[in-house]
Structure formats: structure tokens, C-alpha cells
A and B are shown apart, each in its own frame.
Chain A
């Protein structure tokens, strides 16, 4: 990574870093009447600012409303009822306990990009980049990727050559680790382990839900001190992650992916492509996630998978191991196969691949 690229990236982040405004839930008057924006708008200092879809999602999270519930609710009752429900829950919550919220506004689009709990620490870009530079110099890392999303979430991925390791069961493959350093309105200020599969340079973000890496979740002296100390121990975190990773690969190598898993991952990827109607895209997806081949395989046994439910699909073994499926996933998340998947979308897919790898158990893992 050239230094000028890094400096340009810093400049880009500083220019686009969301501005945070602290408020309370009761002061947050969401206006859903404006038909130009389905996600609603809020007024700050008398100026109307529209909510992006990510801001609306983060608001739901702050109100403890799950995505799944809201999708189902909207399907049944429609957008107006959805908006009414959000208002009722917000008002009820602010009456019970008027929580402090942080509103993040993009300086370039002047839109609200996130609304979340104000207790979430928010650091300046200068602090973030100082941290990135210290981590890089303390552990002798190289930057492999940098991005800022439309919500203002920033991440810098790094790699270290002598943090490599092999897994006995996997011949001709070796892995390198690094760390991915994140911050932003909806992302944690965190330094998570990162694995790079060397055979084809597929990257994968370490699983956040295991909370492997140091992350700053509260704005108090003790939490900050713990976070800063944990950053110094990154080498240990990386080694610990390698152990867990190797063990998981062993399980994945012995577990066939379910049709449900293959289908869901394929959908995740197809959601990110520029034009799903493009036949070439379909062909690439088929190569990596061969659902048609699996369907044919079962059709020969007189089973039509299309007539079954997702519960059946979870018990339907495919001809790929979960490890192979994961590699397909990380492959399309790391390379350009002409599907028009942007860098931010690729980062998101890599994150999803980490979550897939460390899901509590695979669909067919305990199937007899």
C-alpha cells in the first residue's frame, strides 16, 4: 500500500466522517409525512434532515426492534403502520426512561446516517488514525485494504507476514493473520483478528460475535484503559484466534453444507451484485454456489427441493463441505469476477463470512 494512498484515504475520511449530535429520545421528532423519503426525517436547529435506510435500521435497533420482526410487520401491515409503530415505541420508551441518543449526520450528504445509544464512544478521525498507525508500527503490519462506508464506518485491514500458520488437515494451504481496525457510527472502535487464506488470497474478517479483539464499548476511564492495554497484547489475541480458527476448520472440513446454507450465502452475494439479470453473473454464482447442481442431484432421487421449506433445506446435504462453501464465499468477497460488487459490499461479505464460520453450529453438523 503506497503511503500516498493512505494519506489520501485519511483525507477522504476526515471529509466524510459523520458529525455526531447528542440528544434525547423525547427530542427526536421523526417526521414520516415527507413522501420524498420513506425512512422519515428529523429536525435539528430547525433544519430538516432525512434519514438514510441505515439510520432507520439503527433507530430500530436502538428501540430494540429486530429487523426480522419489522420486515414481517411491514409485509403484513404496510409502511404507514410500520411508521406508526416506530413512533409509539419511541414515545413509550422516552416516557419510561428518556435515553440519550447520538445522531450521526454525513457532512457530504447532510443526511442522518445513524441513530444509536449516546453511551457509544465516538472518537475523532485523528485519534483513530493515530491508533491505526501505532498498531501498525508496534506490530510491524502492512495495510492491505482501507474503506469508508456510506454510513461513515471506517476500516483499515492489515496483515503481518510472520503471523502465518498452517492447518495439518489442509495440505497446500496456509494462512496469514492480521488485524482489521474499525470505527464509525454503527461499527465498534475495535481491533479484530483477520485471516488471509494464502492459496488464493481470500480474506475473511474475524468473527465479531466471539469478541476476540479489543473493542471500546463504553466512554469511561477504566474501559479506555483496558482497551488501550488490550491493543498492546494483539499478538496474543492473534495466536488465540489461530487456535480457534484451526479447530473450526477441522469441523468444517468434515461437515457438508446444507442446501439452506448454500442458498442463503448465494442470496447474500446476489444482493450485492450490480445487475442480477446479467447472465454472466448467474454463471459465476452457479460456479461458486451450485444450487442447480444440488437440485439436479436430488431430482434424480425424485425430490424437488423447490417444493420444500427452509426447514427441510436445513436437513438437505449438498456436495460441498462447509469449508468449501466458506472458501467460495470468501473468494467472491475478495476478487472481482465481473459481478460489480463494490469494495464496501466486499468488506461486508467478508464480515458475513466470519459470522458464517463461527455460527454456533452448521445445519448438518449433528445430522445422523
Chain B
């Protein structure tokens, strides 16, 4: 099979005419909005890969965020695609995570042709989609189609990219959060292709010393990176340690000031040395 020849297009940003809502964040009303983007919330037309070990709280955090986006009103359409769980599993999970009860959910395991189902459902157009998990969805499609793993992955990524461009019935510039598994060493287990096609990559980690969970972006085209946001999970209720985050932000600011001070010092030294033709007499005097 030969690929059709692509025609290069040189464009300017002024050639595009995006609707204003593409630049309006989907707010969950939770503190997590602060770290997701500079504008404070999940930005439409983005793909974020969320990585973390089992039990770290990825699903809880994202389901809570999704419920927040829906509850925040404005008629935002959200979809939870669960490829690993079935309704019974989720019903039990909902005892601790009641936000699950009211979410629009697609259980991929229920279908013989998940590829076609996924295409059909996404074509309806959604503001926000959570895929849990990418690897499992990919495996299910591979197992039920004639495509190999690599082709399925490309297809799935292209499908998401297509919807981030608003190519669906409702012309929604969909924002995707995609849960991804990790290696035994705690690192991202997905492909480079997925990594490169994402807007952001977030890790959910468990602090080895304090055993506390935290989120941290290692890549984020729309917001900051390397800032830890600690999560508190008590009796199934999720909250964020905003105080600690603010303190860490202040510490980052102090560190930046220290770096800037060093740069100032380098300049000052040049000035000092420029005018300091240090004579032996001068040295003797200063001693």
C-alpha cells in the first residue's frame, strides 16, 4: 500500500479562524485547575497523558476533575471511556468515588468491535474525554481487528488528534486525558509517538518518604512543569494541598531569585574587574 502524496502548506496563524471557546479553559472548580494551564483549567484541543503506578490515584483524580467540569455548568459534555472496568466494578468503586455515578460512561469491554464503537461515539462530539486506559483500549482494538499493535496505536492517536481539531458532528475541540501505565521502574511505558503527540504529560507519584501522593507535570505546553501538587485522599474524598503548593511556588520563586542574583553577580564582577587595574600598591593598602 502506498501513501498518498501530501501537499505541503505554508500557513500563518492569521489564516486560522478558531472559535473563541478553544481558548477558554474547562474549569473543574478544584485547585488542580491552577496547575493544568496558565489559564486555570483543562484547555480544549489538548491531549494529556497521565502516568502513574496502580493505586496512585489517577482514576480518582481524573474522575473527580471530570465531575467538577460537568458540575461547573456551561453544558460541557464529558465522556468517560472505561476499557478496563465493567459497570459492576465501577458500581463498587463508586462507593468510595460517588462522582462516578452520574458520568457518561462508555464501557469498551462490552463491544465486539470497539474500534467502530469508539469512532461512532467520539464523532458525536465531546468537550472532554477521559480514556482509562490507553494501553488497554489499544489492546482491545488490536484483539478485535486485523491491525497490529503499532497500527492500532497510530490509529488511536490520529483519532484523538482529529477530534482535538473539532472534526466531529458537534464541532467540539475535544480535550483528552489519557491514562497510561508505567514500567516497573516507575517510568512512562507508552510509545514515543504518543509522547510526542501530547500537549502535556503528568505523573501521579507516591512520595517514598511521606507516602503522600502528588501530581507533577514533566511536559506542559499550556502551563508550568515540575511543580508538585500534593493530593489528600481521606475516606474516599479527594482534596489538594493548596497551601503546600503555594509554599513550593514561593520556594521556586526564591530559587529563581537566587539564580538571577548570580547572573547579576557575574555582571557586577565584570564591571569591578573592568575598572580594577589592581596595582600592588592598592593591594597593600587594602591589606
List residues of chain A with CB under 8 Å of any chain B CB: 19-22, 36-37, 44-45, 47-50, 105, 107-111, 121-124, 127, 219-222, 224-225, 228-229
Of the A-B pairs whose beta carbons lie under 8 Å apart in the complex, a sample of 5, sorted by A's number, is A36-B283, A37-B283, A108-B286, A222-B251, A228-B251
Interchain CB contact under 8 A, B248 and A45:
no
Q: How many residues of B contact A (CB 8 A)?
A: 28
Query: Chain A's nearest CB lies how many Å from the CB of B25?
Result: 26
Choose from B258, B266, B270, B287 the contact partner of A122 (Cβ within 8 Å): B258
Question: Which A residues lie within 8 Å of B247 (CB)?
Answer: 225, 228-229
Chain B residues lying within 8 Å of A127, measured Cβ to Cβ, are: 254, 257-258, 261
- Shortest Cβ distance from A54 into chain B, in angstroms? 12
A19, A48, A124, A220: the one contacting B269 at CB < 8 Å is: A19
Is there contact, CB below 8 Å, between A110 and B269? no
* A111-B268 Cα distance, complex, nearest whole Å: 14
B262 touches A20 (CB 8 A): yes
Q: Tell me whether B258 and A121 are in contact (CB under 8 A).
A: yes
Known: A19-B272, A44-B269. A220 touches B283 (CB 8 A): no
- Are A124 and B283 in contact, CB atoms less than 8 angstroms apart? no
Please give the distance in Å from A184's CB to the nearest CB on chain B. 14
B248 nearest CB neighbor, chain A only: A225
Residue-wise interface mask of B (261-281) relative to A, using a CB-CB cutoff of 8 A (1 in contact, 0 not): 110111011101100111010
Contacts of B251 in A (CB 8 A): 221-222, 224-225, 228
A48–B280 Cα distance when bound, in Å, is: 10
Residue B92 CB within 8 A of the other chain: no
B252 interface residue (CB < 8 Å to A): yes
B11 on the A face (CB < 8 A): no
Q: Is the CB of B265 within 8 A of A19?
A: yes
Give min CB distance, A154 to chain B, whole Å: 15
Residues of B within 8 A of A219 (CB): 255, 258
Interface residue? B250 (CB, 8 A): yes
A110 touches B268 (CB 8 A): no
CB-based contact A37/B278 at 8 Å = no
* Set of chain A residues within 8 Å of B265, measured between Cβ atoms: 19-21
